[in-house]
């Protein structure tokens, strides 16, 4: 029984983390519509997406 509880805890933690990440992405996409297109291509072009995000952040706060 102890082993079962130990294996259930990381699973719950993983689910919570996934939900938080999904919520964060949805909020960001809602606040910054121009970023939602970037999120769709993150798997293919991770580097340039990061560069675009940095440029967007710089233009927002500078």
* Residues 27, 2 share a domain: yes
Q: What is the pLDDT of residues 22-50, one digit of tens each?
A: 988 887 767 776 665 666 655 555 556 56
* Residues 6, 23 share a domain: yes
* Residues 7, 21 share a domain: yes
In which band, very low, low, confident or very high, does the pLDDT at 20 lie, cut at 50, 70 and 90? very high
Q: In angstroms, rounded to a whole number, what is the distance separating the alpha carbons of residues 35 and 14?
A: 25
Number of structural domains, the chain?
A: 2
Query: What is the pTM assigned to this prediction?
Result: 0.38
Angle between helices 2-31 and 33-40 (to 10 degrees): 130
- Least Cα distance to 26 among 18, 14, 5 occurs for 18
The alpha helices in the chain, defined as continuous H runs, are 2-31, 33-40, 46-61
* Residues 25, 43 share a domain: no
* Residues 44, 26 share a domain: no
Residue numbers of the domain that contains 45: 37-62
pLDDT of residue 49: 59
């Amino acid at each position: 029984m102890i082993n079962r509880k130990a294996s259930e805890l990381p699973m719950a933690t993983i689910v919570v983390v996934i939900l938080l990440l999904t919520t964060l992405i949805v909020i960001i996409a809602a606040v910054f519509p121009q970023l939602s297109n970037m999120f769709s291509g993150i798997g293919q072009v991770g580097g340039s997406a990061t560069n675009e995000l940095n440029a967007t952040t710089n233009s927002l706060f500078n």
